[in-house]
Amino acid sequence: MAVYKAPLRDMQFVLYELLDVEAELAVMPAHAETNRELIDQVLEEGARFTTEIVFPLNQSGDLEGCHLDTTTHTVTTPKGFKAAYDKFVEGGWAALACDPQYGGQGLPIILNNAFYEMLNACNQAWSMYPGLTHGAYECLHAHGTPEQQSVYLPKLVSGEWTGTMCLTESHCGTDLGLLRSKAEPQPDGSFRITGSKIFISSGEHDLTENIIHLVLARLPDAPAGTKGISLFIVPKFIPDAKGNPGERNTIYCGAIEHKMGIHGNATAQMNLDGAKGWLLGQPNKGLNAMFVMMNAARLGVGMQSLGLTEVAYQNAVVYANDRLQSRSLSGPKAPDKPADPIIVHPDVRRMLLTAKAWAEGGRALTFFVALQIDRELNHPDEMIRKEAAELVTLLTPVVKAFITDNGWQATSEAMQVFGGHGFIAEWGMEQFVRDSRINMIYEGTNTIQSLDLLGRKVLSDNGAKLKRFGALVQQFVEENGTTEALQEFVNPLAELGEKVTKLTMEIGMKAFQNQDEAGAAAVPYLRVIGHLVYSYLFARMAKLALAKADSGDGFYTSKLATARFYFARLYPETAMLIRQARSGSANLLALPAELF
């Protein structure tokens, strides 16, 4: 049976020591009264809710899965899911970071972020139901008409209704320009939408009385490609005059996918047979509106892998301390026992520290980005809002791809610590591995995130956004470059910053001549940028830990050791990645397709 304890101490370190969140929020009028006492209270109660209510359903939900009644097109979620969701709504968790105008609590995104890390660690499949709903809320909040907002937002904010996004069709995944779903205008201003969508997370379930689907479709006169896509609100039950669920709409679940992981979440095939919908945003600009939800989802997917990394790491540590196997190569460490606990073995330490470093680096990055979102939305200084928005834009694909890649490695390493027992379901480790694998695929595969980072976020503006982050790196290097105790962290950070500048220019020049060069370099390039960000954050965390090295608090000893491990064992990957990115497209494209 798996175990989990919310990492509140490390969350508080990142919030208060690394990011100085109290001072940051104090200058934002919307959050000026959000102090440490309130944040800690929410975190502690969130830890109780997630560990006591949601975590016990993780393994049972995986074993039971979701069940579709093909006659009624209804889906039953695993036992206990609905009761847990009711407590989630009762506790006001859905409203945590939502607009008070619609019943939200108006708390910072960074606090909501921390809560969702715990949720995902405890039960990713369950957490996807409210997680996607928050994305639908953000999309409607940004693009809905006042009437649409008044009907839907209070229900989504309270958690009484849930939301989905319906993009993918069987013949088009990432290439949404190929989608075929049609929307026919009606005299009353609504639209009749026909088509089929696949891979719709939380597409049908029994947790709430209504589900609000945000559906991409084409108008009759729409231009071809992505420029001809519109976004529509398609509720499962059409709200009546009082805003309550009324007529059953003709959008149905035709099947639920049989998947490698996240069995507790209903990944549905949704069929629209002239379903009634309403335009959300402008005609033929639906993809722009949907990107509000997609970007929120991409950040959320990074949080999913962060949560899985943390819970897998915790279980591996417990097992490594308990499991007796062989003796230490340097002599017995537990001479009173028949063998030493496996945590004495160097390679077990390597696996544990890999997962630990990926968890702590991922937490620092996701909290950093969440704070930038709070700055972008609420800071009184327009320039700071603009700079924060640029950082969020740059780092969103890094959060999604780098953290999910690392999460796959971390859960695999944690399972390996268990040896053969890790492969057995009762320990829970193999579920963490299976659940983590989808995170590299959905909301835009990690290759798509890499192309987005290199093409749209870096090369398209001649590296302006990257330079914005580079300025933070440079400032830290200049302020700490002469401090002897920090050389082991500052020097590799500075070196990587210089290499990234040269690599970016080189790829840009080659891509100007042949765009396949960007495609060939994109994936290793994103990982290099990911390491640049982690190097910056770990160097900052190491500085804080060194300042407290004599405090007697083992937390700082652990933090410093993790930073040193990162730079010694994980950072060196950048040398290989840079060589890969520079190797060009010829080694990938020279072999004719028919010879594969």
Query: Which residues are known to be catalytic?
Result: 443
Q: How far apart are CA 43 and CA 119, in angstroms?
A: 11
- Let me know: does 420 contact 319? Beta carbons within 8 Å: no
Measured CA distances, 125 to 261, 462, 553 (Å):
9, 40, 36
122 contacts: CB under 8 Å, gap ≥ 6: 4, 50, 51, 54, 55, 58, 307, 311
Burial 212-243, CB ≥16 within 10 A → b, else e: bbbbbbbbeebeeebebbbbbbbbbbbbeeee
Instruction: Tell me the β-bridge partners of 285.
Output: 229
Structure tokens at 515: 């765009």
Identity of the residue numbered 308: L
Quick one: 433 exposed, middle or buried, by C-beta within 10 A (0-12, 13-18, 19+)?
buried
Angstrom distance (rounded) from CA 212 to CA 208: 11
Instruction: HSE, CB side, 13 Å, CA atoms: give it for residue 461.
Output: 14
Q: Provide Rg for the chain, Cα atoms.
A: 24
Relative to beta strand 161-166, strand 210-217 is parallel
Q: What would the DSSP string read from start to end of 106-146?
A: ---HHHHHHHHHHHHHHHHHHHHHHHHHHHHHHHHHHH--H
Locate 73 and state its tokens: 């097109």
The two tokens of residue 522 are 């994109």
Residue 147 CB coordination number (10 Å):
9
